[in-house]
Amino acid sequence: MIFKALVSACVALVILEIIFHRHASFPWESWPGFYALWGFVSLFAIVVVGKRLGRGLKRDEDYYDE
Amino acid sequence: MMNSLPPGIIILVGALALPLLPRALRAVGALALPIISLAHLILLSDAVSLEVEFAGLSLIPVRVDRLSLIFGYIFHIAAILAALYALHVRNTVEHVTAMFYVGSAIGAVFAGDLVTLFLYWEITALSSVFLIFASRTERSYRAGIRYLIIQVGSGVLLLSGILMHYQDVGSLAFGQLIGAAGSLGDASLGVWLIFLAFGIKCAFPFLHNWLQDAYPQATVTGAVFLSAFTTKLAIYALARGFPGTDALIGIGVVMTLFPIFFAVIENDLRKVLCYSLNNQLGFMVVGIGIGSQMALNGAVAHAFVHILYKGLLFMSMGAVLYRTGTIRASDLGGLYRSMPWTTAFCIVGAMSISAFPLFSGFVAKSLTMSAVVEGYYVWTFVGLLIASAGVMEHSGIKIPYFAFFGQDSGIRCKEAPLHMCLAMGATAVLCITIGWLPGPLYALLPYPTAYEPYADLGHSITQLQLLLFAALAFAVLVRTGLYPPEKASITLDTDWLYRRLAPRWAKGILSSLERIRQSGVNAIHQTGRHLMRWVLHHYGAEGTLARAWPTGSMVLWVAILLGTSLILYYL
């Protein structure tokens, strides 16, 4: 249910952006859906990279207690 | 008379008087101190400064200008909210040291010269460590000692830098230390040392790990105090001494980026907040590095709102720890049923830090981002945009999701105590009010600004797109099972270098020294044994010279000797 609400909010925002243009300072900002894609891809990449990082850096909780 | 009283001194002196109050009233006394001190600060005229001569040095213990005033105000507000939150604490040492910490941090932002700054700088370090010790566990004790070593180390660097700088320029005034070109390459060694001292407190990359190491070990209330003052004092000091320093832009971008990966995998939710704190400091450092009026306004506004929403997030996680006894994401979940108010306050903090439009983070971060755009720093802009998605991940979603929603842990507890809810509620109201009406905050900023965060509706819409699509990615990751599950574990960071590698090396060096000593001792023993054997061979009980010789051979030898001497005599 929450997931569906989230998806519809996202769709609504993309439509709204077409109506209310952002004042673009950099050229890519005026591409439709740039910020939407950026947010999605960034978070995805952050989690995937973080997961990799965790494989190397995770230790037991008592690692330092000796 | 009232006007010449340095800000912060009321709290410092009052803290000493707290133990004189009846035990039950000490917490109330601690709440009253910052309120009285704030009233005094408001009564101070706008731009006063106090100069004194001491031991031939001209010192400025009080300098009130717009930059120090806004930090003074927010430090007072933070102290009042944290003291309200700590109303249940019965540990007198905690109240006294917390107020010492607050008073010295306030004193520091009004210090007009470097010696006064150094004194307050050290008092903040010495007093705040008690908020970590107060947890009274072996881990908190050890983390506190490490924290103290690093903080006092920063003070020592600061003092050395101040002395060298004084020899170079003959003045102790604390103004802009970096040259107009903003290049650290031209700066003197003294200025470099001061920069490094500020950098440690500001948790620059590789100097950062004291923060994530120590703060999660503090008490429930101690962490709320700690989150507000030390690092923001460093931000103030950088804004005062190093505005427009080019190197800060790069340092700041790295600071916004690397903590977000650690925050993804960290299990201790208060430690996640520390990584998030580190990432937020990066935004402010970038603003200071750019150094334009708009960028400095952005950095200061960010520090102001950050103190509020980060405090709010630490309060809500503190309330969870207070009620459930744990703050591990792997043990928590589903607490919204038991703690609906805390959940709501936490979500306000999460939306503020993620910079949702109409929340406080948005009106501050937009200033910095606009300054980045204005200066056309393309890569910085890209870096900060990734970092914005990162903030949404760890503070916007992870913190509330794993504590209050997600998998039900089965924990059923009481809602946070009333005074905690009041403190969180007041902070949440401030976060929302600033988001709706940024005017009063903008009016307090060091430089005049006509910035209108909501003038461009498209800006708000694209910001919402960034945040909600990031949330969508999170939802997809969780639904597909790609999101890493929370497990009871710790994550190695640069503290490994001094908690593991350095001790291991020290152990290695000690054991090789021991081996060298051992072989030296062996060689001496060996030589001694040989010598002893030789001596015994000749002089021992069985030796050549101890043999019993027949008397006849003695007489013969005497005759030979006498005969020889006779012959020699006649020759």
Distance from CA of A31 to the nearest CA of B (A): 11
Alpha carbon distance B500, B503 (integer Å): 6
How far lies B189's CA from each of B114, B243, B288, B559, in Å? 16, 18, 21, 90
Domain ranges of chain A: 2-57
Distance from CA of B496 to the nearest CA of A (A): 9
Alpha carbon distance B433, B427 (integer Å): 10
How far lies A19's CA from each of A7, B182, B198, B458, B461, in Å? 19, 43, 47, 9, 10
Q: How many CB atoms lie within 10 A of CB A21?
A: 15
Nearest CA in chain A to B328: A61
Give me the pLDDT at residue B1, please. Answer: 43
The string of DSSP codes covering B9-25 is: HHHHHHHHHGGGS-GGG
Nearest CA in chain A to B495: A64
Alpha carbon distance B12, B79 (integer Å): 13
Tokens (6 digits) for B201: 């407190």
- Asked if B60 and B120 count as a contact pair (C-beta separation under 8 A), the reply is no
Contacts of A55 (CB under 8 A, 6+ apart): none
Nearest CA in chain A to B375: A25
Give me the pLDDT at residue A66, please. Answer: 60
Tokens (6 digits) for B261: 């990966």
Strand partners, B53: B58
The string of DSSP codes covering A26-50 is: SGGGGSTTHHHHHHHHHHHHHHHHH
Strand partners, B63: B49
Task: Give the helix/strand (H/E) hosting B57.
Answer: strand B57-63
Distance from CA of A23 to the nearest CA of B (A): 7
Give me the pLDDT at residue B49, please. Answer: 73
Give me the pLDDT at residue B48, please. Answer: 66
Domain ranges of chain B: 263-486
Q: Collect all residues from A whose CB is shorter than 8 A from any CB in B.
A: 2-3, 6-7, 9-10, 13-14, 16-17, 20-23, 25-26, 29, 33-44, 46-51, 53-54, 57-61, 63-65
Q: B490 to chain A: which residues are within 8 Å by CB?
A: 58-61, 63-64
Nearest CA in chain A to B466: A39
CA-based R_g, chain A, Å:
19
Tell which phi-psi region holds residue B384, choosing left (phi > 0), alpha (psi between -120 and 50) or beta.
Answer: alpha
User: H-type helices in B86-135, by residue range?
Assistant: 92-109, 114-133
Judged by DSSP in three states, B491 sits in strand
Walk along chain A (66 residues) in steps of 10 and give the mean pLDDT of each run. Answer: 89 87 82 91 94 89 82
| Residue carrying structure tokens 């003092």 | B159
Tokens (6 digits) for B102: 């607050």
Alpha carbon distance B129, B134 (integer Å): 9
Residue B208 CB burial class (10 angstroms; 0-12, 13-18, ≥19): buried
Alpha carbon distance B571, B565 (integer Å): 10
Q: Say which of A22, A44, A51 has its CB closest to residue B461.
A: A22
Alpha carbon distance B197, B444 (integer Å): 28
Contact at CB, A43 and B381, closer than 8 angstroms: no
- Asked if B441 and B112 count as a contact pair (C-beta separation under 8 A), the reply is no
Query: Which of B24, B186, B203, B19 has its CA nearest to residue B97?
Result: B19
Distance from CA of B254 to the nearest CA of A (A): 14
Query: Which of B309, B403, B404, B417 has its CA nearest to residue B354?
Result: B309
Alpha carbon distance B266, B483 (integer Å): 13
Q: A25 to chain B: which residues are within 8 Å by CB?
A: 373
Alpha carbon distance B390, B258 (integer Å): 10
Per-residue pLDDT 10s for chain B (571 aa) are 456 688 999 999 999 999 999 998 999 999 999 999 999 999 876 656 777 887 778 888 899 999 999 999 999 999 999 999 999 999 999 999 999 999 999 999 999 999 999 999 999 999 999 999 999 999 999 999 999 999 999 999 999 999 999 999 999 999 999 988 888 988 999 999 999 999 999 999 999 999 999 999 999 999 999 999 999 999 999 999 999 999 999 999 999 999 999 999 999 999 999 999 999 999 999 999 999 999 999 999 999 999 999 999 999 999 999 999 999 999 999 999 999 999 999 999 999 999 999 999 999 999 999 999 999 899 999 999 999 999 999 999 999 999 999 989 999 999 999 999 999 999 999 999 999 999 999 999 999 999 999 998 989 999 999 999 999 999 999 999 999 888 888 889 988 999 989 999 999 999 999 999 999 999 999 999 999 999 888 887 777 777 777 777 888 889 999 999 989 888 7
Contact at CB, A6 and B473, closer than 8 angstroms: no
Backbone angles phi, psi at B53, to 5 degrees: -100, 130
Alpha carbon distance B32, B14 (integer Å): 10
Give me the pLDDT at residue B308, please. Answer: 98
How far lies B17's CA from each of B25, B36, B80, B95, B98, in Å? 12, 14, 18, 11, 13
Contact at CB, A50 and B262, closer than 8 angstroms: yes
Q: Say which of A6, A25, A58 has its CB closest to residue B472.
A: A6
How far lies B441's CA from each of B255, B296, B298, B345, B433, in Å? 26, 14, 11, 21, 10
ipTM above 0.90, yes or no: yes
- Asked if B290 and B282 count as a contact pair (C-beta separation under 8 A), the reply is no
